[in-house]
Amino acid sequence: MNTIYILWLRQLKRYFRSRSRLVGSLGQPLLFLIALGFGFGPIFEKAGEGSYLQFIAPGIIAMGILFTALFSGIEIIWDKQFGFLKETMVAPVSRLNIMIGRTLGGATVATVQGIIVFVLTLFVGFKPASIALVPVAFVYMFLIALLFTALGTAIASMLDDMQGFQLIMNFVVMPTFFLSGALFPLQGLPEAIAIVAKFNPLSYGIDGLRGVLAGASHFGLHIDLLVLSAATGILVVVGSYLFSKIEI
């Protein structure tokens, strides 16, 4: 447990010490929120769908979490190259504990990122449907963060160079985000896109956030929580296995 706590704390210190990283990671979600939220707002309202800002805000919160969680895996490659990972792996502690500590740390950082984006949405004009359900939204945020931190860890465990990791992440991040219902409703989609959205775990995370924050859910909150929890559990197991196979 001490190892898990130390690695978790180390991830948090890295995040909060880097002010440029903190500010930079907020730029893209804020741009999407303002440009799309207000830009497509009139069109969305004319279509009879209500406020687009209310619709898009949960997706933008998930976006901030997704980017931070996935790219936390690059720290594994960084530690490989500079020898810190080797020092950690040869310590008389379980590799599983090391992986859990790093994953929990990355997930906590991504959740904090999501909470910051959530606060920014309030300043822009987003209004939660129920203040009492906001803590439930934090649960969904953490599950999304844990899921994609584990995915980032799994991918980074198989790679040795940052360029390769960044290429794969760009290939994963954009389709995962744009085909999740973050920017458009999942009702009435072409069959091919609807099928992809159903197999995209982020769809259920965003749908859960939208359900508790905006009062509109496509799949149902229970289905969202079940699928998101199952996908998170599977990826944590896969990530732990791949991390345990790292050669140092």
Distance of alpha carbon 13 from alpha carbon 8, whole angstroms: 9
Count of beta carbons in the 10 Å neighbourhood of residue 247: 6
pLDDT at residue 223 greater than cutoff 90:
yes
134-157 vs 201-214: helix crossing angle, rounded to 10: 160
Q: Which domain holds residue 201?
A: 2-244
221-244 vs 95-124: helix crossing angle, rounded to 10: 140
Distance of alpha carbon 63 from alpha carbon 29, whole angstroms: 7
Q: How does residue 106 score in pLDDT terms, banded at 50, 70 and 90?
A: confident
Distance of alpha carbon 213 from alpha carbon 51, whole angstroms: 13
2-17 vs 95-124: helix crossing angle, rounded to 10: 40
Q: Are 169 and 155 in contact (CB under 8 A)?
A: yes
pLDDT tens digit string along 27-85? 778 888 888 877 877 777 776 667 888 889 999 999 989 888 887 777 777 766 666 66
What is the reported pTM? 0.87
Q: Are 207 and 187 in contact (CB under 8 A)?
A: no
Provide the number of structural domains found in the chain: 1
Q: Are 50 and 176 in contact (CB under 8 A)?
A: no
pLDDT tens digit string along 227-241? 999 999 898 888 888
Residue (of 50, 30, 27, 25) closest to 40 by Cα position: 50
pLDDT at residue 204 greater than cutoff 90:
yes
Of the listed ranges 16-20, 61-65, 87-91, the least confidently predicted one is 16-20
Question: For position 228, what pLDDT does the model report?
Answer: 92
Q: Is 87 exposed, middle or buried (CB count within 10 Å of its CB: 0-12, 13-18, 19+)?
A: exposed
Q: How does residue 173 score in pLDDT terms, banded at 50, 70 and 90?
A: confident
Question: For position 12, what pLDDT does the model report?
Answer: 61
Mean of the per-residue pLDDT values for the chain? 81
pLDDT at residue 3 greater than cutoff 60:
no
**Residue in the structure block whose two tokens are 């409703």:** 185
Distance of alpha carbon 59 from alpha carbon 207, whole angstroms: 8
Q: Supply the Cα-derived Rg of the chain in whole angstroms.
A: 18
| Type of residue numbered 149 | T
pLDDT tens digit string along 120-172? 899 888 889 888 889 999 999 999 999 999 888 888 878 777 777 777 877 88
Range 172-187 average pLDDT: 87
Question: For position 140, what pLDDT does the model report?
Answer: 94
Top mean pLDDT of 24-38, 82-96, 210-224 is at 210-224
